[in-house]
Amino acid sequence: MHELSIIASIVDIAEEQVKKASAQQVDSIELEIGELAGVEWAVLEFAWEVGVQRSVLENTDRYIQRIPGKARCVECGSSFLMKQIFDPCPKCGSYFNEILKGKELRVKALTVS
């Protein structure tokens, strides 16, 4: 369950930012996670409550912006939405694709007070 490690990294980032801003708490946190980033949404949801316990994120509102996967076919050049990293190009059927979007794993913003 690597989702817990991801949450631990998010907590580290938040704690660092709170310290830097000399703030007391994090009111909200905004994450950007790509559909192809390898995160299991249900597991992330489940692990979040445990992962943020007794940290600056314990009472924080969490917003997740999911970024759909997007790829470009190296053979025919067409761009398409990619749900799985082994999806073939819908136009020519090639698996030779370059992933353009969907691997993001970012803390976009925090509101602290």
Residues engaged in binding other proteins (CB under 8 A): 1-2, 4-13, 17, 21, 23, 27-28, 30-31, 37-38, 45, 47-55, 57-65, 74, 84-86, 88, 95-96, 105-113
Residue 11 has a CB neighbour count (10 Å cut-off) of 21
Q: In the complex, what is the shortest distance from the CB of residue 102 to other proteins, in angstroms, rounded to a whole number?
A: 12
Q: Which is nearer to other proteins, 79 or 103 (CB)?
A: 103
Q: Under a CB-based contact definition with an 8 Å cutoff, are residues 8 and 16 in contact?
A: no
Q: How far is the CB of 31 from other proteins (least distance, A)?
A: 8
How many Cα neighbours within 13 Å face the side chain of 58?
5
User: Distance between CA atoms of 40 and 67, rounded to whole angstroms?
Assistant: 14
Considering the complex, state which of residue 5 and residue 68 has its C-beta at the smaller distance from other proteins.
5
Q: Which residues contact 88 (CB under 8 A, 6 or more apart)?
A: 94, 95, 97
Closer of 30 and 79 to other proteins (Cβ): 30
